[in-house]
Amino acid sequence: MNTRPIAIIPVAGVGSRLRPHTHTVPKALINVAGKPMLAHILDELEKIGIDEAVFVIGHMGDQIANYVQKKHPRIKSTFIEQPDRKGLGHAIWLTKEAVGERPALIILGDTIFRADFRGVLAAGISSLGVKEVEDPRRFGVAIVVDGRITRLVEKPDSPISKLAIVGIYYLIHSGRLFACLDELIAMDQTTKGEYQLTDALELMLRKGEPMTVFAVDGWYDCGKTETLLSTNQELLDLEAKPMTLPGSVIVDPVAIDPSAVIENSIIGPHVSIAAGAVVRCAVVRNSIINENAHVELILLDGSLIGEQAVVKGHFKRLNVGDSSEIEMA
């Protein structure tokens, strides 16, 4: 029996809070800190030696498949469509045949994490990634006694624990997980209208599966424009290397694809510019410019520019005397 861990990566969400960008690009392929969200996850998997992954796709899933196969060919990939979004538990249940009994590392495909994954895999026990939060009502939470999880609750109405389950799960016995998901779906047991992975994990606990938790040091939300830009800042601060470009001023940290064209511009801090983008005679800071976008003669701050978008403006030069008031549209 194959006992090498396999990754399960759900990427079927439509990313409604990132519209209009997700009308044409899956959320997981939007750039942050120099590469798509999904690339951060796949690079981490390759570092820890996981070379096989099952992707649960839906919204523009062909783009996900094309990206993974082209950019990460070393990962043996399987793609399973989730035609109806019935919750995370349902998405994981769909991977049953592909995963079988193998240990599984489940990672949500639209959030970037930093944790000791090698340590988690080496510990030999099912373990859930957690982070302490002030308001746990939006999350599944874990109650831990003497280092072991005693109970899991999805989106509790009262704050029974501040340890939020943040979207990383390592399960030694995948077969037991799928058996519990079978049971939930057969009974049509849902929480807030969806089949919840947390409910299946709680059922595993009740059936005697030992589980512990591990700390997630970095938990970077990419769910909406404001948090995506904040994540871009934090990751560039951690990872970006100093850059220089002839004819332009670079204020580190930035991430600029080698194929991007930058002319007579001031770039940074905290700017990501993707492949094929063109920036001319512009000032850009705290922004993400996606593939093949064209930005010219404008100042951008706190902006997210989509693929192949064209953004042009004009600078104004003013000589304003004392006690003046000028309003410019």
Gap between the Cα atoms of 84 and 70, Å rounded? 27
- CA–chain centroid gap for 261, Å, is 27
> Residue for token digits 């590392």?
105
Q: If we measure between CA atoms, which residue out of 231, 233, 234, 251 comes closest to residue 242?
A: 251
Gap between the Cα atoms of 166 and 129, Å rounded? 6
Contacts of residue 38, Cβ cutoff 8 Å, sequence gap at least 6 = 9, 11, 28, 29, 64, 67, 68, 109
Q: What is the pLDDT of residue 322?
A: 42
Q: What is the pLDDT of residue 324?
A: 45
Q: If we measure between CA atoms, which residue out of 295, 264, 291, 290 comes closest to residue 279?
A: 295
Give the DSSP letter of residue 230.
H
**pLDDT tens, position by position, for the chain (329 residues)?**
567 899 999 988 776 777 777 778 888 888 888 888 899 899 989 998 999 999 999 878 899 999 999 999 999 999 999 988 888 999 999 999 999 999 999 998 877 888 888 888 888 899 998 888 888 777 778 888 988 999 888 777 777 888 888 889 999 999 999 999 999 999 988 877 888 898 899 899 899 999 999 988 887 777 778 888 888 999 999 888 999 999 999 999 999 999 999 999 999 899 999 999 999 999 999 999 988 988 998 888 888 888 888 888 765 555 454 444 555 55
Gap between the Cα atoms of 212 and 68, Å rounded? 31
Domains and their CATH numbers in the chain? 6-221 (3.90.550.10), 240-312 (2.160.10.10)
Amino acid at 254: V
Gap between the Cα atoms of 147 and 139, Å rounded? 20
> Residue for token digits 């332009």?
248
